[in-house]
Structure formats: structure tokens, C-alpha cells
Amino acid sequence: MKIILSSPIPGEIAQLKDMLESAGIACFTRNEISAGLSPEIPLAESTPELWIQADQQLAAALEIKRAWKASAPAGGSDWVCPICGETSEPQFSSCWKCGAEKIDDPKAGNSPTIGLVPGDQIAAPAKTELAEELDGGIPCVSCGKRIEIGVKYCPFCDYTQPYEYAA
């Protein structure tokens, strides 16, 4: 058994543990419960640790750890959703609010605003393009309009429905 990582940040331990396990390297954590007892017990005895079980997998585990530490956070700046105007962080490829995909615009410095800003008025679609509310359907969790059972997206607001609603 060899220690791979000691960190007061439990998320780091969990991240690396998942990566090691997905590579087939058996590992386990120590001190994850005692971390909450600091400062009553010494820091060295309460810091969470990640250990591998097989010493012969040390080289592979250290290579995975090196790659994990070298991974850079997403660069860029916050972007504005072209559909609903909500601001999202650069690491996200779709809007958290409406699910619209991020559009890369090289002229705008990788910002997908495509000329829209919150508050812009967008022309309503023709009446023939509008969906009709169903009498026997279930309510959309976002807009409340009645939609067909089993659909993934609401035809009125494009909100993703919970998995219980989708077939």
C-alpha cells in the first residue's frame, strides 16, 4: 500500500480516486471521517489521504495523478446565452437555465452572444408554428403548460423535463 495524495480538500481525493478506479487501480481513502475533528486531533492525523492497494501499480497511479494535476481549468470568460440571456461560466457548453448550446463566435472573443443581449425583443413565431397545450397532458415543470407525457423538452419553453416525465 502506498499513499498517493493527502489533501484537506475532500473533493480532490474523490476526483483522483474516481480516475484511479476507472483505470483499474484499486484504492481507498483514510481519515475522511476524522477530517471533521480537526483541530481537536493533529492535522497530520486528520487530513484525508488516498492510498493504492497494489504497490506494483504505483507508477501508473503517479502518472494519472500527474495528468490530473496538470489539467487546467477552463479558460475564457463568462458567456451570455443567446436564447434566455442568462450568464454562464466558461467551462459550461450549454445554458443551465434553458439548455441552449453555447455558440462560439470568434469575432466576439469566444462569446456566444450573437448580437443578443438580455431584454432584446425577439419576434414571436407564426401561429402555425406554435405548439398547442394538451388537455390530458402533464404540466411542464418550468412554464406550467400542459405537455405530452414522455417528451424530453417542453415545446413552449424548451425546458428539459425530469426523467420521470420522459419515456
User: In this predicted structure, which of 37-41, 56-60, 162-166 has the lowest mean pLDDT?
Assistant: 162-166
Q: Where are the domains of the chain?
A: 2-70, 74-122, 124-167
Q: What is the pLDDT of residue 60?
A: 92
Q: Name residue 145's amino acid.
A: K
Report the alpha-carbon distance of residue 58 to residue 64 in Å, rounded. 10
What's the average model confidence in pLDDT over 9-20?
86
165 — pLDDT class (breaks 50, 70, 90): low
Band of pLDDT at residue 110, cut at 50, 70 and 90: very low
Question: pTM to 2 decimals?
Answer: 0.43
> What is 2-70's CATH topology?
Alpha-Beta Plaits (3.30.70)
> How far is C-alpha 141 from the geometric centre of its chain's CA atoms?
21
Residue 133: its pLDDT value, please? 67
Q: Taking 70 as the threshold, does the pLDDT of residue 73 lie above it?
A: no
Residues 38-52: what's their mean pLDDT? Answer: 78
Question: 26 pLDDT exceeds 90?
Answer: yes
Cis amide linkage into residue 39, ω under 30° from 0: yes
